[in-house]
Amino acid sequence: MKTQIIDIQNLDAEGLKRLEAPAALIRNGETVVFPTETVYGLGANALDPEAVKKIFIAKGRPGDNPLIVHVSEIEAVDALVTHIPAKAKILMAAFWPGPLTLIMEKSELIPDEVSPGLDTVAVRFPSHDIARAFIEMAGCPVAAPSANLSGRPSPTEGKHVLEDLNGRVAAIILSADGELGLESTVIDMTVDPPVVLRPGDVTLAELRSVLGEVLVSSNVTRNILPDKVRSPGMKYTHYSPKGELVVVKGKPAEICQKIKSGVDNFHENPMKIGILASDETMETYRKGIILSLGSCDNPKEMARNLFSRLRTFDELGVEKIYAEDIPLNNETLALVNRLYKAAGYTFI
């Protein structure tokens, strides 16, 4: 398939004009990649089952993994769900548009392909100006998973999208890189108290500040008790780089020591070994491909860089990656969750 590449840096008159062709493609049942404030999304008309099927084909995604439906105004949600729970209204008022996805009971309008076998649908109103204008111009809700091949790190830069999906979708809208870098917070509003299924930029503390009690799915808290699940054999293919990634735990000096001896004991070319460090620690290493996630004092910067760094190790042909563990707190929960998943919960 020949993919149209559309570059839009500003949403001025020219930028809006460039959105017309991809918006028309969505109306015609085709797939279009578009930027959001989290990661790029691979979109299609959420109300058109044939269009939605094309998303799964383009990504190579297992057909039973449900998609997020993106809207460009709160009013559009009414038609997609049976009802909006009072607490969901509170969240929409507090955090939309933005990186928060709400799961509610789906209406008849949602085809089974969007959330196969479930009676719920995930809905998000992104804040990225191009995403909003694009959905509005398409004139329909847009189903979109992250625009990576299934199992690869989510795309935070245009080049990642081109790497994974050029030739597999009708069009790709490229823009400035997303500001957040990790996918949205997903919260199940069909239960009370609501349950966070995936942590993201909207933190637990922020959710609790407006809702009171909010629970966290055991899939996420598994991260908080990692020693219980030290199980390298477990098959998690999410976000994985091609090289083997392990998270190195311990006190700061211990982490550094473990990584150094790991590098020394790796008998092949040290350039095949990667170290995912921080601005504060990267100078302490001498051998291997050393990349910094950013400053430990700036978890947002680290979140923005994670997927991009994993892809850089791939590009450099790194076969084994040691990642320094990241202290867990409210601000780092999403980052730690993605790092551990990428490592398949492998720790040393």
CA distance 44 to 33: 9
Q: Counting contacts by CB under 6 A, is residue 122 touching ligand TXA? A: yes
Residue 239 identity:
Y
Judged by phi (left if over 0) then psi (alpha if -120 to 50, else beta), residue 254 lies in: alpha
In the chain the beta strands, taken as DSSP E runs, fall at: 4-7, 32-34, 41-45, 68-70, 100-105, 120-124, 142-143, 171-174, 185-188, 195-198, 215-216, 244-248, 273-277, 289-292, 320-324
Minimum CB separation from ligand TXA for residue 216, in Å? 14
Which residue type sits at 223?
Answer: N
Task: Name which position in 22, 98, 141, 145 contacts ligand TXA (CB under 6 A).
Answer: 145
- Report 18-57 residues binding ligand TXA (CB under 6 A): 36, 38-39, 41
CB closer to ligand TXA out of 81 and 211:
81
Task: Find the binder of ligand TXA among 103, 220, 289, 326 (CB under 6 A).
Answer: 103
> What is the rounded distance in angstroms from the CA atom of residue 345 to the CA atom of residue 247?
8
- Least Å distance, CB 281 to ligand TXA, is 29
186 binds ligand TXA (CB under 6 A): yes
Q: Is the Cβ of residue 201 or residue 324 nearer to ligand TXA in the bound state?
A: 201
User: Which one of 31, 45, 72, 146 is in contact with Mg ion (CB under 5 A)?
Assistant: 146
Residue bearing tokens 């076998």 = 117
Pull the structure tokens for residue 239: 């976000």
Write the interaction track for Mg ion spanning residues 87-126; mark x where CB under 5 A is met and - where it is not: ----------------------------------------
Integer angstrom CA distances of residue 12 from 9, 129, 138: 9, 11, 18
User: Where does this chain touch ligand TXA (CB under 6 A) — which range of 85-93, 114-122, 229-237, 318-326?
Assistant: 114-122
Asked if 67 touches ligand TXA (CB under 6 A), the answer is yes
Residue with tokens 């790190």: 153
Binding site for Mg ion (CB under 5 A): 146
Binding site for ligand TXA (CB under 6 A): 36, 38-39, 41, 65-68, 99, 101, 103, 115, 118, 120-122, 124, 126, 144-146, 183-184, 186, 197-198
